[in-house]
Every structure is written in structure tokens, then in C-alpha cells.
Amino acid sequence: MADQGARSSRFERQMSPAEALMWNVEKDPWLNPSGASLSIIDGPVDGDQFERWLRAAVAALPRLRERVVPGIGRYERPSWNADPEFDFGYHYRHVDLAGDRSERELLDYVALAMQEPYDRTRPLWQVTLIGGLDGDRSGLLMKLHHSIADGYGMARMQERFMVRDVDAPVPDEVDLDALVAETCAEEAATGGSGGLTERALDLATAPPKLTRRIMARAALAGADPSVWLDTAESVQRYARMIGSQVRPSGEGDSSSAGSPLWTGRSRHRHLEMVRVSLSGVKAAAKALDASVNDVFMTGLINGAVAHHDARDQPAEAFNTSFVVSTRTDSAEGGNSFTPVRVQVPATPMSTVERLRAVQERVERQRSSVHGGGMMGGLAGLVNLLPTSLTTSTARSQAARIDFATTNVRSTTKQLYIAGHKMTEIFAPGPVAGSAMIVAVLSYLDTMHLMLTIDPCAITEPGALRADIERAYDDLLNAA
């Protein structure tokens, strides 16, 4: 965890091309790119005290007080301006579980909250303190639009109210209304995201700039006609990527590979939690000359294989994706990542054989990512396409992904929220048209896996969770 003092942040006035793409495709609920974190706290949290912590965070993080200002036409990317009607009470909520107070009830509440669309005229976040969890515990859900931050940027933002010192002083009261009024006045005086004349000038120069790029391509195409094919393929490939897709890594026939069970798709969501010993995973990784992520992927695949085999529906291979961080800083907010697709074998083999296959294929795909990856390469061109074309392409390609994965490192140090221990933290993720996304947050001595599932694809989510748990037990015991 970083010092609460001076911090670097990545809150640019204008969205990056990749962020603009995530903002645009959210119009299709199947491709909702929102991420979240769900913390479990060991006591009943004082809502008023936590509100002071959150208000201080909102005061320190301008993005949480800003709304999206759409661009003029398709050539201008959206920008961020202070919301003159900012209402803290809309974004911070305090509720209590009303049923059996179980983790199942908590997860069902979070799954419902994850499906609620954002009001696109307001700042794109929501924090809910959830009381009444069994064992006298609480839950804390932070939901954030992906255009604000990736997993790492979100974790850095949460350090504003997740602290190492149980006796850390509660922040002073903050007058957010006065701060918002002051910020709006400053923006009005400086032109905010740019006056109409300035923005119109940018728009006037955008088509010629694009034309020059296209003409440069045309010149190359005279000598090498494949350039046009490469360009068309690149644009199409990027349009698919918001559903965590790129071209398969080449193993097997991608048209026939994939789960024979998980073929349905919908906008519905279901959550399951899996807990795995982090020290056990590290010991297994050391014994097998592998990384923690290799062990994570192998256990997950073994669980999926067992789930299919038990239903007499074996798969030859699974189409999966993982996220490569291209971040080079430790700033709050911002996005620096690219999803990469990889096909992994699902045929019968030993655990070591499967781990080696995963190692080799993941590493080959990871090494193909350079610079900002696909997310930094072609988004500007894709944003010029009709949104309906982009979303329909993303949907069709995402339907071929059996599960996506993401692994965000956390801390082995004890953290506190409003004077109480944070015992666990999970990360509900964006399914984005796939059957499931499995997000890992390692905290203390536990790898916390959140399975965010499309229940129309995976119709027995509880059974899948049990199969994955057994697979990790077997893998760690064998190692």
C-alpha cells in the first residue's frame, strides 16, 4: 500500500481511444465493461465513519466527481468535466441484508447490482456498504466503469479508504458541494475540456489526419496489396477485442474447439467464490518450476475439464483469454492493459503435462504483446465505425470464449476499513459476452477467485465451483 500523501494519478481530460471504445460499447448490456471489488469486513461498519473516509477519497480523486461529456461527432473522443449536479448520496449507499444473511444472499445482491446500468449523465461509480452479513460481518462493494480505471488503477484508488493502520485518524469532514462548485467555476474560466471553437478546430483537422494515414497505407498497398488485407483484419480484430477476443493462438481448429456445454449467452449474471491457499499455490509453483499464474490457470482448466467429463460432454480444447498489463507506473486510475486470447488443451493428460502446455502457450501469446498492445493500437479507427457494427462483431466473437481470466496482485499485509479488519477481497468482473470471467485477487494468504458467470451458459454454477475447488485441492496435494 502506498503512502496516503502525494500520489501520481492518470486522470486525463480526454478519454484515450481504448477508454472511448469501452464507453461506446457499454450501450450493449451484453458487453458491459464494469469491474468491481467486494470486500468482506470482520464487523459491523459505522456507516457515518466510512462516509467520511469515502468523502475524503472523492475529494482527492477528481474523476469521481466528473461526468462524461460526449464528443462532437465520431471524430472527437469523449472527455471528462466536473458534474455541476454531483450528488454524493446517489453514489454512496448503505443497505442491510434482509434474508438469511448468508454469503449466497450477499453474492446475489452484488450480481444484481453489477447488472444495473450506469446513469451516463453522472459520474460512473457506486459504493455500497452492505450490513447484516452472518457472523456479524459487513460487505463493501465498489463498482467502477472500466473507462475510469483498470484493475490496478482501481486498487490504487481504493487505498484512499483501505489502510494499514487500524488507528488511522478518520479524515476531516469535506464539503463536496463547495468543492464541486469551485471546480465548475475553474473549468468555466479555463474553458473546461475546450471551447466550441477549439473543439471545432480539432474536428476540422481530424479527417485530414485520418486521410493522410489512409493515403500512406494506399501508397504501401501499391507495392504490397496484402497491406489492405492486414489493415482490414487489424480493424476487425480490434473491434472483437472488447469482448476479450483476438485471433486464436493457432493450436487446433478454432472453429470446432470450445465447450460443448457452455453455448448459451445472456445479460444475466451469477457469482461464485473460490478460496485457495496462496502459500500452497506458491509451494506448488516452486515444486513444478512454474509461476503462480501457471498454477492458477492449470487448476481452473482441470476443474472445467472435470465438470465436462462428469456430464459426458468432454471438450478437446477451451478458448480462453487473459489480461496483460502494459502499465509502467503505479498511478491511481487509468487503463493500461490488453486482453490476449489463448486456446488451451482439455483432452486427458496429467497435471504436469497440462501445466507445461499452459505455460508454453500463455508465454508465447504474452510475448507477442508489445507497447500498449492491441488496446493502444487501433481503437481510434474502430471508434469511427458505427457502434452497432462494433458491438455485433464483439458479441459474435465473445460467444466463442469459454472463460476469460484476470489476475491482480494485492497485498499480504492486513488492511482496515473504517477501523475494522478487511478479511477478504474478491473482484466481480466483466463477462462481456463470454461464458465466464474468473478474476483473482491475492490478499493475506489466500487467492480469492470470483467466478462471474453467465447462468444461461453455465447452468450449474454451484457444481462448477465445487469441481474447481476439488481441482485445486488435487493439484496442490500432488505438487
Residue 395 φ/ψ, nearest 5 degrees: -60, -50
17-197: CATH architecture? 2-Layer Sandwich (3.30)
Summarize pLDDT for 427-449 with one digit per residue, the tens: 999 998 999 999 999 999 999 99
**pLDDT: is 93 or 213 the higher one?**
93
Domain regions of the chain by residue span:
17-197, 238-407+441-478
- Can you tell me whether residue 445 is helix, strand or coil? coil
**pLDDT: is 112 or 398 the higher one?**
112
Q: Determine the Cα angle at 365 with ends 251 and 34, to 5°.
A: 110
Strands 92-96 and 125-133: parallel
**pLDDT: is 287 or 34 the higher one?**
287
The confidence score (pLDDT) of residue 216 equals 45
Grid coordinates representing 55 are: 468523502
The confidence score (pLDDT) of residue 421 equals 98
Q: How many whole angstroms separate alpha carbon 141 and alpha carbon 131?
A: 11
Percentage of the residues of the chain whose pLDDT score is greater than 70: 82
Residue among 476, 39, 474 nearest 277 (CA) = 476
Res. 408: pLDDT tops 50: yes
Residue 434 φ/ψ, nearest 5 degrees: -85, 180
Non-local (6+) Cβ contacts of 127 within 8 A are 54, 91, 92, 93, 140, 141, 142, 143
Looking at 97-106, 239-248, 324-333, 434-443, which range is the least confident one?
239-248
Res. 376: pLDDT tops 60: no
The confidence score (pLDDT) of residue 395 equals 78
Q: Which residue has the cell 434474508?
A: 99
What is the enclosing helix (H) or strand (E) of 153?
helix 151-158
Strands (E) located in 280-350:
317-325, 337-345
Q: How many whole angstroms separate alpha carbon 72 and alpha carbon 472?
A: 51
Rounded to two decimals, the pTM is 0.85
- Can you tell me whether residue 444 is helix, strand or coil? coil
What does the DSSP assignment read for 213-277? HHHHHHHHHHH-THHHHHHHHHHHHHHHHTTT-----SSS-TTT-S-SS-----S--EEEEEEEE
Summarize pLDDT for 185-223 with one digit per residue, the tens: 999 988 765 554 455 545 555 455 444 444 444 444 445
Res. 328: pLDDT tops 90: no
Q: What is the DSSP letter of 120?
A: T
Residue 350 φ/ψ, nearest 5 degrees: -70, 165
**pLDDT: is 4 or 167 the higher one?**
167
Res. 243: pLDDT tops 50: no
Res. 31: pLDDT tops 60: yes
Are the beta carbons of 159 and 417 closer than 8 angstroms?
A: no
The confidence score (pLDDT) of residue 9 equals 85
Grid coordinates representing 60 are: 482527492
- Can you tell me whether residue 320 is helix, strand or coil? strand
Written as one letter, the residue type at 386 is: P
The confidence score (pLDDT) of residue 220 equals 47
Grid coordinates representing 426 are: 474478491
Res. 277: pLDDT tops 90: yes
The confidence score (pLDDT) of residue 81 equals 96
The Cβ of residue 470 has, within 10 Å, a number of other Cβ atoms equal to 14
- Can you tell me whether residue 450 is helix, strand or coil? strand
The Cβ of residue 31 has, within 10 Å, a number of other Cβ atoms equal to 22
Q: How many whole angstroms separate alpha carbon 454 and alpha carbon 468?
A: 17
Residue among 246, 269, 428, 426 nearest 323 (CA) = 246
Task: Report the pLDDT averaged over residues 261-275.
Answer: 96
Q: What is the DSSP letter of 126?
A: E
Q: Determine the Cα angle at 193 with ends 187 and 196, to 5°.
A: 105
Res. 371: pLDDT tops 70: no
Partners of residue 143 on adjacent β-strands: 36, 126
> Does the domain at residues 238-407+441-478 carry the CATH identifier 3.30.559.30?
yes
Are the beta carbons of 422 and 416 closer than 8 angstroms?
A: yes
Res. 338: pLDDT tops 50: yes
Evaluate whether 17-197 and 238-407+441-478 have a shared fold.
Answer: yes
Grid coordinates representing 40 are: 468482506
